[in-house]
Amino acid sequence: MRSYRKELWFNIPARRAFVNITPQIEECLRESGIKNGLLLCNAMHITASVFINDDESGLHLDYEAWLEKLAPHEPVSQYLHNRTGEDNGDAHLKRQVMGREVVVAITEGKLDFGTWEQIFYGEFDGRRKKRVLVKIIGE
Ligand code: ZN
C-alpha cells in the first residue's frame, strides 16, 4: 500500500468564502501516483470546512444566507465563546454545520465523484493563513 500526504495553504482575504479546491486535489492525486484507494481531505482549523457539493454560485449565496441565519456573526456579544476576546463564535458553529472533512474513492486514477460533485474549502474566519490536509492511501 502506498501513502501520500500534503498540506494546502490558504489565505482568504475576506472573513468568509467558498473556494473550489478540486483542481488542487486532482493535482495531489496525480502527484501521488495512486490509482485505486481512498482520499481524505480535511480542514486543519476549527473555523474552516471542507465539503462536497455543486459549484453553482446561487447555491453558495444560499449557503451564506442560511449560515448567517443559523449563526449570525453580529452581534458578537451573543456568543459565550467570544468572552475569550475572539469574535469568531459564529465561525466555529458554521464550521460544525458544513463539516470538517470529505472522503473520496479513487478509481483508476480519478476522483470517483457523483454527478456535479466538487470539493470546496469553506472559510468562516479568514484573513489569515490556514491549512487543509490531503491524505491518500491505496496502490
Ligand atoms: Zn474561536
Q: Taking residues 36-45, report their average pLDDT.
A: 98
Report yes or no on 93 lying in a domain. no
For position 2, what pLDDT does the model report? 97
How far apart are the CA of 15 and the centre of ligand 1, in A? 13
The C-alpha cell of 127 is what? Answer: 484573513
Domain assignment present for 86:
no
- For ligand 1, an ion, list residues with CB under 5 A: 86, 88
At 10 the pLDDT is 98
The percent helix, strand, coil of the chain (3-state, each to 5) is 30, 35, 30
In the chain, the percentage of residues whose pLDDT exceeds 70 is: 100
Between the CA of 130 and the centroid of ligand 1 the distance, in Å, is: 14
- Determine the Cα–Cα distance for residues 133 and 8; give it in Å rounded to an integer: 6
pLDDT given for residue 16 in this prediction? 98
Grouping H, G, I as helix, E, B as strand and the rest as coil, residue 72 is coil
- For residue 113, the model assigns a pLDDT of 98
Distances (CA, A) of 15 to 4, 18, 56, 73, 91: 31, 11, 20, 10, 9
pLDDT band per the 50, 70, 90 thresholds, residue 12: very high
Separation of CA 89 and ligand 1 centre (Å) = 6
What's the 82 CA to ligand 1 centre distance in angstroms? 7
Domain residues for the domain of 10 are 2-56+98-138
Between vectors from CA 57 to CA 55 and to CA 63, what angle results, nearest 5°?
Answer: 90
Could you give the number of structural domains in the chain?
1
What predicted TM-score, i.e. pTM, was given to this entire model?
A: 0.96
pLDDT number for residue 110: 98
CATH of residue 35's domain is 2.60.120.460
Q: Give helix 89-98 / helix 57-70 axis angle, nearest 10°.
A: 130
Q: What integer best gives the mean pLDDT of the chain? A: 98
The CA 58 to ligand 1 mean position distance, Å, reads 28
Residue 5: how many CA atoms within 13 Å on its side-chain side? 1
